[in-house]
């Protein structure tokens, strides 16, 4: 059964009598496995106290855009990044209007504007306000932008009217949130990601390696977690901390990475090879430090196995995604790799430009499939990783991948 295990839900509470149901909603989201943090608008605090929401969520409630204490802990950008889903329940007519305008002058609106996560609103208002053309036009605009609208329901209202405008019940909202993850993400799937450089020893202190920082691979692992996958990250030497909720396995050489990938690939639905794997290793690494006695020395190198290609060749192969670092003819070179290695998708990464590549936080990615090429807007590695994972999830849900019999029978 799909639940909200591992999901981070930011619950936004705006002003309305239905805010009294938000405490129950927090409890039910948590029962479904989600971690919940709460942002309240000023008018929401007229209907339910922040203390109640703090007690049920187990975290301090965020209220002010420019609160020095909160900014020191988690500011609006951190909250926006933290969220796997921003759910605004209740969403008042006023809040819906603010969201439509793209306002950023209160914390909740600013978080909605700053997040790359899906945003859902659960409208709650008087039936006349609901049917007003202004509200309906606002909602049509929000829907067009990809905002999910949960409800409202019909029935008797706090003001005595009967009609549309009642906030959906917490149980319905939890169900809809669950559905959202199920249809869009990688819920319940296992993803194996390689990241970082490899280290091919020459002697105990020297090696052949490369400048990969691991940032892109780690960002892909985090994006897959956010999409609901179980993630096994197999990383060469990097300076990065292990991401939360990811099973991280640290390796050194390409051969070790190959062995570790193959020890785990049986469980994988998706393999994403982001590591910059050394193509060659030293034929005879020395067990003692080499002394500089000779004027010249020659290192004999032998080919490392191609991890990505070996995964794509498996009889029960996962959906297999490669990365290609190219300096020129990006699409043509990457497409050649896609075909040669028989991949489902390759993400081509232009290197050698300022503001992209190995050590940068920014990157540029072009996604290449057999029939199409998708240029992702340049952005930080985290945003690009989310876009890549979103694309993979869509490809899987659209049934593009039928190469793995295990997956086809799901
Ligand atoms: N890769 C791998 N194992 C290797 C070499 C590469 O799994 N031994 C994977 C990388 O993780 C990446 C993809 O193959 O997903 C492309 O690697 P790249 O080095 O760009 O391409 P190569 O096939 O090595 O070709 P070349 O170096 O000639 O460009």
The verdict on residue 184 lying in a domain is no
pLDDT, greater one: 360 or 276: 276
> What's the whole-number mean pLDDT along residues 68-97?
87
Residue nearest to atom 27 of ligand 1 (CA): 279
Spell out the alpha helix ranges (H) of 227-297. Answer: 254-264
Give yes or no: residues 237 and 160 share one domain. no
Q: What is the CATH number of the domain that holds 221?
A: 3.40.50.10300
**CATH number for 105:** 3.40.50.1950
The rounded percent of the chain whose pLDDT value lies above 90 is 74
Catalytic residue among 159, 267, 332, 408: 159
Residue closest via CA to ligand 1's atom 24 equals 279
Q: Is residue 1 part of a domain?
A: no
200 CB under 6 A from ligand 1? Answer: no
Q: Is 254 in the pocket of ligand 1 (CB under 6 A)?
A: yes
Residues 144, 252, single domain; the answer is no
C-alpha closest to that of 246 among 258, 266, 260, 229:
229
Count how many domains the chain has.
Answer: 2
| pLDDT, position 116 | 87
Task: Tell whether 154 and 13 lie within a shared domain.
Answer: yes
- Position 355 scores a pLDDT of 62
Q: Among 276, 278, 279, which is best to mutate for testing ligand 1, by the most ligand atoms less than 8 A from CB? A: 279
Tell the residue nearest (CA) to atom 23 of ligand 1: 337
pLDDT(233) > 90: yes
Q: How confident is the model at residue 69 (pLDDT cuts 50, 70, 90)?
A: low
Q: Averaged over 164-175, what is the pLDDT?
A: 95
Residues facing 207 on adjacent strands: 201
Name the closest-CA residue to atom 8, ligand 1.
306
| Res. 184 pLDDT band, cuts 50 70 90 | low
Q: Could you list the residue range(s) of the whole structural domain that residue 97 is in?
A: 8-179
- 125 and 54 together in one domain: yes
Active site residue 159: yes
Domain check: are 229 and 302 in the same one?
yes
Predicted local confidence at residue 405, as pLDDT: 38
Q: Which of 21-35, 197-211, 394-408 has the lowest mean pLDDT?
A: 394-408
Q: Are residues 144 and 25 in the same domain?
A: yes
pLDDT digits (tens, 9 = 90+) for 307-328: 999 999 999 999 999 999 888 9
Same-domain check for residues 157 and 288: no
Q: Is 339 in the pocket of ligand 1 (CB under 6 A)?
A: no
Do 171 and 28 fall within a single domain? yes
Cβ of residue 38 lying under 6 Å from some atom of ligand 1: no
User: Which atom of ligand 1 is nearest the CA belonging to 307?
Assistant: 7
Given this model, what pLDDT does residue 53 score? 97
Identify whether 185 is part of a domain: no
Segment 343-384, tens digit of pLDDT: 999 999 888 766 666 667 778 899 999 989 999 988 888 889
294 in any annotated domain:
yes
How large a percentage of the chain has pLDDT more than 70? Answer: 92
Is the pLDDT reported for residue 403 higher than 70?
no
Strand partners, 36: 9
Closest CA to 308 of 319, 297, 300: 319
Q: Are 273 and 346 in contact (CB under 8 A)?
A: no
Task: Tell me what pLDDT residue 262 has.
Answer: 98
Q: Is 257 in the pocket of ligand 1 (CB under 6 A)?
A: no
Q: Looking at the domain assignment, is residue 104 inside a domain? A: yes
Asked if residue 400 has pLDDT above 80, the reply is: no
Last residue of a domain, one of 156, 179, 202: 179
Same domain? For 151 and 275 the reply is no
Instruction: Dump strand ranges (E) for 185-300.
Output: 190-195, 200-201, 207-208, 230-235, 247-250, 270-273, 280-282
Top mutation candidate among 220, 274, 275 for ligand 1, by most atoms within 8 Å of CB: 275
Cβ of 338 below 6 Å from ligand 1? no
- Asked whether residue 258 carries a pLDDT value surpassing 90, the answer given is yes
**Residue 183: pLDDT over 70:** no
Residues 54 and 143 occupy one common structural domain: yes
pLDDT at 66 over 90: no
Phi-psi group of 23: left, alpha or beta (phi > 0 → left; psi -120 to 50 → alpha; rest → beta): alpha
Question: Is residue 202 domain-shared with residue 348, that is, in the same domain?
Answer: yes
What is the distance in A from the centroid of ligand 1 to the CA of 247?
A: 23
Q: What angle do CA 77, 79, 82 make, to 5 degrees?
A: 110
Is 2 part of any domain? no
Dump pLDDT digits (tens) for 126-161: 999 999 999 999 999 999 999 999 999 998 888 888
307 close to ligand 1 (CB < 6 Angstrom): yes
Q: Encode pLDDT of 100-113 as tens digits.
A: 999 999 999 999 99
pLDDT at 244: 85
Residue 3 belongs to a domain? no
Cβ-based neighbour number of residue 328 at 10 Å = 8
Asked if residue 95 has pLDDT above 90, the reply is: yes
Question: Is 204 in the same domain as 326?
Answer: yes
- Report whether 358 contacts 211 (CB < 8 A): yes
Of 130, 155, 179, the residue that ends a domain is 179
What's the whole-number mean pLDDT along residues 55-60? 96
Ligand 1 center to residue 309 CA distance, Å? Answer: 9
How remote is the CA of residue 8 from the centroid of ligand 1, in Å?
34
- Is the minimum distance from the CB of 345 to ligand 1 under 6 angstroms? no
Question: In this predicted model, which residue has the larger pLDDT, 116 or 72?
Answer: 116
Q: Which of 179, 204, 233 is the last residue of a domain?
A: 179
In the prediction, which pLDDT does 72 show? Answer: 56
Task: In whole angstroms, give the CA distance from residue 377 to residue 309.
Answer: 28
Residue 323 Cβ contacting ligand 1 at under 6 Å: yes
Write down how long the chain is.
410
Atom of ligand 1 nearest to the CA of 272: 15
Mean pLDDT of the chain: 91
- Answer whether residue 392 is part of any domain: yes
């Amino acid at each position: 059964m799909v639940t909200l295990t591992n999901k981070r839900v930011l619950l936004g509470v705006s002003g309305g009598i239905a805010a009294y149901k938000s405490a129950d909603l927090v409890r039910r989201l948590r029962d479904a496995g989600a971690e919940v943090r709460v942002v309240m608008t000023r008018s929401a605090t007229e209907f339910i106290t922040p203390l109640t929401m703090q007690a049920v969520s187990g975290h301090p409630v965020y209220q002010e855009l420019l609160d020095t204490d909160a900014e020191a802990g988690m500011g609006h950008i951190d909250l926006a990044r933290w969220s796997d889903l921003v759910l605004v329940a209740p969403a008042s007519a006023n809040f819906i209007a603010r969201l439509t305008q793209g306002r950023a002058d209160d914390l909740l609106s600013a978080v909605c504007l700053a997040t790359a996560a899906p945003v859902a609103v659960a409208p709650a208002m008087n039936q006349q306000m609901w049917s007003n053309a202004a509200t309906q036009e606002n909602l049509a605009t929000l829907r067009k932008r990809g905002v999910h609208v949960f409800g409202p329901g019909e029935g008797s209202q706090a003001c005595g009217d009967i009609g549309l405008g009642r906030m959906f019940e917490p149980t319905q909202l939890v169900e809809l949130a669950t559905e959202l993850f199920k249809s869009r993400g990688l819920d319940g799937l296992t993803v194996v990601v390689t990241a970082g450089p490899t280290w091919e020893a020459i002697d105990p202190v020297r090696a052949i390696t490369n400048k990969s920082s691991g940032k892109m691979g780690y960002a892909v692992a985090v994006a897959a977690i956010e999409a609901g996958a179980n993630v096994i990250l197999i990383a060469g030497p990097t300076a990065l901390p292990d991401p939360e909720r990811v099973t991280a396995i640290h390796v050194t050489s390409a051969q070790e990475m190959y062995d570790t990938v193959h020890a785990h690939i049986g469980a994988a639905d998706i393999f994403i090879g982001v590591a910059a794997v050394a193509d060659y290793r030293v034929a005879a690494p020395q067990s003692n430090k080499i002394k500089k006695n000779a004027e010249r020395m020659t290192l004999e190198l032998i080919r490392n196995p191609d991890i990505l290609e070996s995964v794509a060749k498996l009889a029960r192969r996962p959906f297999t995604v490669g990365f290609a670092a190219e300096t020129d003819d990006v699409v043509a070179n990457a497409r050649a790799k896609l075909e040669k290695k028989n991949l489902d998708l390759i993400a081509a990464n232009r290197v050698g430009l300022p503001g992209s590549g190995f050590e940068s936080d920014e990157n540029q990615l072009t996604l290449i499939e057999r029939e199409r090429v998708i240029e992702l807007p340049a952005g930080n590695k985290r945003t690009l990783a989310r876009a890549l994972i979103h694309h993979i999830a869509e490809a899987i849900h659209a049934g593009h991948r039928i190469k793995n019999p295990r997956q086809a029978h799901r």
